[in-house]
Structure 1
Amino acid sequence: MYIKYLNFLQKKYIVLLFTALPLGAFANFDFNANCLKAYQNIIELKLPAARQLVAAERKARPNNAISALLENYIDYFYLITNESKPEFERLEANKNNRLNEISKDDKSSPYYLYAQAEINLQWALIRSRFGEYYTASREINRASNLLQDNSKKFPGFHLNGKGIGLINVVMGSLPDGFMKKALAALGIKGDVATGLNMLDKLAENLPKSVYEPFYEEVVFYYSYVLSDVVKSPAAYSKTMKYTARFADSSLLKTYLQAYVCARNSHNDQAMNILENRPKGNAYQPFPYLDYLLGVVKLNKLDFRAAGNFDTFLQNNKGNSYIKDTYLHLGFISLLRNDSSGYYNYMGKVKNNGYTYNDKDKQALNEASAPMPNRELLKARLLFDGGYFNNALETLTNINTSALTSAKDKTEYFYRLGRVYDDLNKNDQALVQYQNAINSGRNLKYYYAAKAAVLAGNICEKDKNVARAKSFYNTAIGMKNHEYENSIENEARQGLKRLPD
């Protein structure tokens, strides 16, 4: 009870402090207590309450342009949580109406350019999920220019750093291709180190500043780039550190912590977070969390994961993770020695869902490939869950002479290398990575190219620059395999880190 009372006092203090500051004192950009409450509800994914608060603000203060910005936040997080392209297409028209509303208001406010930049950036991030890269690149260009101009006019307005840092990391990490060329033609380039440094400083310093209410949003973007963009080994520690300040009632906290735990070998922790997440009509439906719970359960070879996958399919109204869900259901059938059930689900992978994201693209690839070896599949799942010793035991019990296909042999070497790598047995890992490279360099599967990148990472840490460069260049030299662009980009980023 005492802790709840302290949290109540802290929130009341933030509201009073924030609304007393020059931040909210501009005529038509009034980030008042009601708007702040709406914003906090959005960040906790309590979108129904946020909509009501913004509607009340519209009625009470129809000229407050902050309402347009908040409405865009609501659409942004709504689309993130449902992944629906039809909903994206329905809501897209709101963008220009909000920009027009904001453009007519107080040009002397730091929110004038900032709000326009935020709206452009949010739509670019959503748009890129559905493959609309050209339009997204133009929106990123607009957002970048607006934020740079705002930084010159209002150097003390720290919120500019959120978008500028994010753009730097994302643009600096882009693989060679259409999106990168389109942005370069528009003059937009990025620098990963600069962007990460900006976001890290914001995450450290916002709680000590008048911009504290925006802390959770900064951490949301920082966690995203650490986990998904640069795949930083610090993603888990930093995300858990910075999200510790979030309220336990925040569903965004659940998502960020569970996601980073699942991706960084803290499987049991991810399961506990997801099973104890806040629920109820106050929250925006987030079916992805049922999918993720299914994934982490199956990583522990818990076949009750099928129930979570079924719940996802029943509640999901979006276009992503459908193929990957059927793939995982097929894995459960295979591990139960039900080959016909496995092939039935592979048919569903091929005939249902979309390929907007890499998970679904890879699911389609796997559904078209030969049926996986059951023991290799077990090792793969156990490794993904961070159960390295169990994975190693599974692999060492495999009769390698029974692995007749080049695919299975290459996967065996790759997975054994991964396990040794994460058990810090570097010499043994390098041997197996080299075996995977030798065995699979001409196959369409990703094992050999990824093994080369991971071998390069080991050599980079050991300060063996020449050998690290050799492995990275080997990865770049392999073509026509799965994940080619992202693996090649990882290798190129590795080369950039090495001294000449």
Structure 2
Amino acid sequence: MYATWTPGLQRAYSDLIKLRVTDARAQIARENPNNGLTIWLANYAEMITLLVSDDESGYDRKSDLLQTRLERLEALPAESPWARMLQAEVRLHDAFVKLKFGREVSACWDIIKAYKLLDENARLHPTFLPQLKALGVLHILIGSVPENYTWVTRLIGLRGNVQQGLAELERARQDPVFRTEVEMVTLLIRSYILRFTDADTKQLTILVGQNPDNLLLHFFGATIQMKNGQSDKALLFLESRPTGSAYLPMPIIENILGDIYLQKGDESASIRHYEQFLRQYRGQNFLKDTYYKLFLSHWLSGNPAVALPYLQKVRTVGRTVTESDKAAQKFAETQGNRGLTPAQTVLMQARLATDGGFTDRALAVLAPYTEIRFSTLADRAEYQYRLGRIYQRRNTPELSLAPFRRAITLTDSAGAGLSFGATAALQLGYIHQQKGQRTLARQFFEKALSYKKHEYKNSIDNKAKAALNQM
């Protein structure tokens, strides 16, 4: 056994991160099976296919193959810097798939084993750049673990912080083979765990433009832009994405397109894309979310009789692994067969438009209203939070301070379960951090962490802890 890049394996790897999986597999089959990189890439191809297809039965059928691959990689010379790294990455591949299917405990053990392999490898081979790709991500994730869980990471020997992880990813970019993947991973980390800046947006646009044949980059670029309230730019990435039989089918793109058109207020287009997603998709994640969005599309277009059966469907399909599915399930259980009240309908229109970055539309929706027009504490808290987000997205953060603070006050009065206090506190933390007001920023990040039960707790806590870690 040995581990060496060949021109063919480099082509296969390049095809894999473009989602040209069939071409990659054909090339991998032509390579020496005793090359550790051949085994790693074969596993990489499987991981990508399972994550995109959401085929849990396919994973169960191939679980024995994973163990065989690990055993073969263990036969690599112990002195090779690739030996532990490739074993770690295969374990991480397995962990990502397990997390997708809700097998969190088993995934956590794989992540711990992968971390220990990479940590040992970094001590033995400190100048080996490829290992920093995964190690940097793990150090950022460890560094963003909420404070009340850090004792667990210390107990099992996991060490790391956000700044360390970012520095390692920056070093990993120097490896010419992995550069594109590292840049993509770094932007995802900045979007989903840290804070996405205008400079990051510019870098993302350049990266996607430099890789017109990379479907994975167009997809992740679109999800990042949507995450950061730039759905028009996300739509451009998806409309310019490469297509054809050479690429792995991605039904989830139809779901994302449905989200964009729902945010734009084009419910008929959103319905077409959601229905297309359901026709193509064979997995169990995102089903609750999609039926919830179909309910919204019909409800907001003035068809409550058509909408309500979709809301009832939410409670009977899919699983609750993703935050979006959990939120859909919670909404369906709370609303029952009632649908949205008039006040909730207004707030939902404002939310969708704001999430997409269509702030003119969002502001116009809320313009006729004041807090007093909403009868419940929950609706009043949401009204203030939506108003704050609109002003924040319009680059007038000073105007967002009072609504965010009011959202916190109303959430605290309403009791457990609402997310608006936590999300408002997080945004206030970012605003004060950007202004250099570190004490205030820290207070609001800690306030965001203090909320015990809401559907976005994992992501809010990760972001708040990562921000505190950076400070």
Aligned with 1:105 (options 59, 62, 76): 76
Which residue does the alignment assign to 2:166?
Answer: 196
Q: Does 1:157 align with 2:128?
A: yes
Q: 1:475 to 1:270 in 2, by over 3 A?
A: closer
Larger deviation, residues 396-405 vs 313-322? 396-405
1:465-493 per-residue CA deviation (whole Å, 9 max, x = no partner) reads 44434433443443333323433444444
Aligned with 2:408 (options 434, 437, 447): 437
Contact 2:144 2:465 in 1 (8 A): no
Aligned with 1:185 (options 146, 155, 159): 155
Q: 1:127 to 1:419 in 2, by over 3 A?
A: same
Q: Does 1:332 align with 2:297?
A: yes
Larger deviation, residues 225-234 vs 322-331? 225-234
What are the equivalent positions in structure 2 for 1:30-49 lying under 5 Å apart? 30-49=4-23
Q: Does 1:457 align with 2:436?
A: no
**Partner Cα distance (2:171, 2:36) in 1:** 29
CA RMSD of aligned residues (A): 2.3
1:268-313 per-residue CA deviation (whole Å, 9 max, x = no partner) reads 2211221232222211111111111111121111121111111111
What are the equivalent positions in structure 2 for 1:348-363 lying under 5 Å apart? 348-363=313-328
One-letter amino acid matched to 2:49: Y
Which residue does the alignment assign to 1:212?
Answer: 176
**Partner Cα distance (2:200, 2:295) in 1:** 30
One-letter amino acid matched to 1:344: P
Which residue does the alignment assign to 1:28?
Answer: 2
Shift of residue 400 of structure 1? 4.8
Shift of residue 256 of structure 1? 1.9
**Partner Cα distance (2:382, 2:440) in 1:** 23
1:46-103 per-residue CA deviation (whole Å, 9 max, x = no partner) reads 111112222222xxx3432322111111011112212233233233322211011122
Aligned with 2:115 (options 119, 144, 162): 144
Contact 2:129 2:171 in 1 (8 A): no
Which residue does the alignment assign to 1:308?
Answer: 273
Contact 1:216 1:243 in 2 (8 A): no
**Partner Cα distance (2:240, 2:461) in 1:** 39
Q: 1:463 to 1:50 in 2, by over 3 A?
A: closer
1:322-351 per-residue CA deviation (whole Å, 9 max, x = no partner) reads 111111111111111122222211111111
**Partner Cα distance (2:463, 2:177) in 1:** 35
Q: 1:201 to 1:105 in 2, by over 3 A?
A: closer
**Partner Cα distance (2:228, 2:53) in 1:** 24
Which residue does the alignment assign to 2:218?
Answer: 254
Which residue does the alignment assign to 2:307?
Answer: 342
Where relative contact order (Cα < 8 A, 6+ residues apart) is larger, the structure is: 2
- Return 5+ residue gaps in structure 1 as ranges: 1-26
Which residue does the alignment assign to 2:376?
Answer: 405
Which residue does the alignment assign to 1:426?
Answer: 397
1:104-140 per-residue CA deviation (whole Å, 9 max, x = no partner) reads 2333433222211211122222223333333323222
- Return 5+ residue gaps in structure 2 as ranges: none
Normalising by structure 2, we get a TM-score of 0.91
Q: 1:231 to 1:495 in 2, by over 3 A?
A: closer
What are the equivalent positions in structure 2 for 1:3-18 lying under 5 Å apart? none
1:401-423 per-residue CA deviation (whole Å, 9 max, x = no partner) reads 44222222211111001111222
One-letter amino acid matched to 2:104: Y
Normalising by structure 1, we get a TM-score of 0.86
**Partner Cα distance (1:150, 1:353) in 2:** 40
Which residue does the alignment assign to 1:446?
Answer: 419
Corresponding residue pairs, total:
461
Contact 2:193 2:462 in 1 (8 A): no
Contact 2:146 2:449 in 1 (8 A): no
SS at structure 1 position matched to 2:284: coil
Q: 1:293 to 1:177 in 2, by over 3 A?
A: farther
Which residue does the alignment assign to 1:53?
Answer: 27
**Partner Cα distance (2:442, 2:74) in 1:** 50
**Partner Cα distance (1:320, 1:86) in 2:** 14
Q: Does 1:481 align with 2:454?
A: yes
Q: Does 1:130 align with 2:101?
A: yes
Which residue does the alignment assign to 1:169?
Answer: 140
Contact 2:70 2:90 in 1 (8 A): yes
Identity of aligned residues (%): 28
What are the equivalent positions in structure 2 for 1:206-245 lying under 5 Å apart? 206=174, 211-233=175-197, 235-245=200-210
Q: 1:214 to 1:258 in 2, by over 3 A?
A: same
**Partner Cα distance (2:245, 2:148) in 1:** 43
Contact 1:42 1:50 in 2 (8 A): yes
Contact 2:99 2:107 in 1 (8 A): yes
**Partner Cα distance (2:468, 2:120) in 1:** 33
Larger deviation, residues 124-133 vs 302-311? 124-133
One-letter amino acid matched to 2:459: S
Which residue does the alignment assign to 1:273?
Answer: 237
Contact 1:455 1:468 in 2 (8 A): yes
Shift of residue 231 of structure 1? 4.1
Shift of residue 243 of structure 1? 3.9
